[in-house]
Chains A and B, each alone.
Chain A
Amino acid sequence: MRLSNPQIRIGSLLLVLYYVIAAWLFHRNGFEHTEALFYAEKLKLLFEYKENTLITLGTTFPTTMFIGAVFFSPFGFLFAPIALTIVMMALLFYNMVVDLSSSSLPVKPLLIAIVLLFVLHPMFLYAAVSGRNVAAIMLFFYLLFRSFFQYYRSQTTYYLSMASIYLTCLIFTEINFIWMLLSFFPFVVLISIEGIKVAKGEQVVFQYYQALNNRSLRRKLANRTIALYLILFLLPLGAVYLYRALNAAHAGDPTYFLTSQYANWRVTGTTSLNTILDNMSGHNVGKQTQIVFQVFTMLLSPIFIVALILFRGRLYQLFTVLTPLIFFSIILVDVKYYFTVEYYIIINVIAIAALTFLGQERGSSSFSSGLIVGGAVLSIFAGVYYFSQSNDPEERQYYNVATSPSKWLQPKVNSEVQMLAEYIGSIASDKRPMLIDDASAYGIIAHLPSLSGLVLPVQKSFVTVIENPMLTVHYMCVAKKNNRLHNFTVLNAYNVGIMKDRIGLTPYRVYETENWIIYSIR
Chain B
Amino acid sequence: MPVCALNNMIGVGLFTTGKLQEIEQIANDYDYAYIKAALNFGFLTRKEYVAFLDRSGFPLIDIRAEVIDETYVEQCDLQQLNAYLFLPVRSDGRGTLTVAAADPMDEKLRSTLEIKFNTKVKFVAASDLDITWMVHKLRGEFYVKEAVFSLMRKDPESSGLITFTDPQLLVIFAFIAMAFALLTFSFVNIFIFFNLFFSGIFLFAILFKLYIALKGSRYELHETVTKDEIRAVDNNTLPVYTILLPVYKEDKLIRKLIWNLRSLDYPRGKLDVKLLIEEDDDKTLNAVRDLDFPANFETIVVPFHMPKTKPKACNYGLFFCKGKYLTIYDAEDVPDSDQLKKVVCLFRKLPRDYVVLQGALNYFNKNENLLTRMFTLEYSYWFDYMLPGLQSLDVPIPLGGTSNHFKLDKLIELGGWDPFNVTEDADLGVRVFEKRYKVGVVNSTTLEEANNEPFNWIRQRSRWIKGYMQTTLVHMRNPVKLVGKIGWRGFFGFNFFVGFTPITFLLYPVLLSFFLVYLIFDLESVRVLFPDWVLYVSIFNFVAGNTLMIYLNMLAVFKRRYYELILFAMCNPLYWLMHSIAAYKGLWQLIYKPFYWEKTNHGLTKMSHSAAATAANANQA
Could you tell me which A residues sit within 8 Å of B by CB distance?
54, 58-59, 154-158, 160-162, 195, 219-220, 223-224, 226-227, 230-231, 234-235, 238-239, 241-242, 245-246, 249-250
Contact = CB atoms under 8 A, between A and B. Distances in A.
Contact of A238 (B533, B543, B555): B543
Interface string B573-584: 000000000000
B554 interface: yes
B538 to A, nearest CB: 9
Interface string B528-555: 0000110110011001100100110011
26 contacts: A54-B533, A54-B536, A58-B536, A154-B221, A156-B220, A157-B217, A160-B558, A161-B555, A226-B563, A226-B566, A227-B557, A227-B558, A227-B566, A230-B566, A230-B567, A234-B547, A234-B551, A238-B543, A238-B551, A239-B547, A241-B543, A242-B544, A246-B539, A246-B540, A249-B535, A250-B536
Contacts of B550: 234
Contacts of B221: 154-156
Contact of B563 (A223, A241, A250): A223
B218 interface: yes
B473 interface: no
A216 to B, nearest CB: 11
B214 interface: yes
Interface of B: 214, 217-218, 220-221, 532-533, 535-536, 539-540, 543-544, 547, 550-551, 554-555, 557-559, 561, 563-564, 566-567
A101 B144 CA distance: 61
Nearest to A156: B220
A246 B542 CA distance: 11
A424 B606 CA distance: 80
Contacts of A224: 561, 563
User: For the complex, would chain B's binding face be called helix, strand, loop or mixed by DSSP majority?
Assistant: helix
Contacts of A195: 561
A246 to B, nearest CB: 6
A220 B558 contact: no
A58 B558 CA distance: 34
Contact of A54 (B532, B554, B561): B532
B596 to A, nearest CB: 39
Contacts of A226: 563, 566-567
B419 to A, nearest CB: 39
Given A227-B558, A246-B539, 15 more contacts: A54-B536, A58-B536, A59-B536, A156-B220, A161-B214, A219-B564, A220-B563, A223-B566, A224-B561, A227-B554, A230-B566, A231-B555, A231-B558, A235-B547, A242-B540
A158 B566 contact: no
Contacts of B559: 157
A259 to B, nearest CB: 19
Contacts of B557: 227
B563 A227 contact: yes
A271 B221 CA distance: 49
In order of increasing CB-CB distance, the 6 nearest A-B pairs are: A223-B563, A158-B217, A238-B547, A157-B558, A227-B563, A227-B566
B520 to A, nearest CB: 14
Contacts of A234: 547, 550-551, 554
Nearest to A241: B543
A234 B547 CA distance: 8
A195 B564 CA distance: 14
Contact of A231 (B220, B544, B554, B561): B554
A168 B523 CA distance: 35
A253 to B, nearest CB: 15
A68 to B, nearest CB: 19
A249 B536 contact: yes
A156 B566 CA distance: 17
Contacts of A231: 551, 554-555, 558, 566
Given A223-B563, A226-B566, A250-B535, A158 B218 contact: yes
A252 to B, nearest CB: 11
B564 A157 contact: no
A139 B463 CA distance: 48
B564 A245 contact: no
A242 B533 CA distance: 15
Contacts of A157: 217, 220, 555, 558-559
Contacts of B551: 231, 234-235, 238
B220 A158 contact: yes
B536 A156 contact: no
A380 B179 CA distance: 65
Contacts of B563: 220, 223-224, 226-227
Contact of A245 (B214, B539, B567): B539
B543 A242 contact: yes
A155 B218 CA distance: 10
A160 B221 CA distance: 14
A155 B220 CA distance: 9
A480 to B, nearest CB: 36
Nearest to A224: B563
B216 to A, nearest CB: 8
A230 B572 CA distance: 15
Contacts of B543: 238, 241-242, 245
A238 B536 CA distance: 16
Contacts of A246: 536, 539-540
Which among B532, B535, B558, B561 has the greatest number of chain A C-beta atoms within 10 A? B558
A41 to B, nearest CB: 22
A114 to B, nearest CB: 26
A249 B551 CA distance: 24
A158 B550 CA distance: 16
A320 B411 CA distance: 52
Contacts of B220: 156-158
A72 to B, nearest CB: 24
A145 to B, nearest CB: 19
Nearest to B531: A54
B566 to A, nearest CB: 4
Contacts of A162: 214
A154 B561 CA distance: 15
Contacts of B535: 249-250
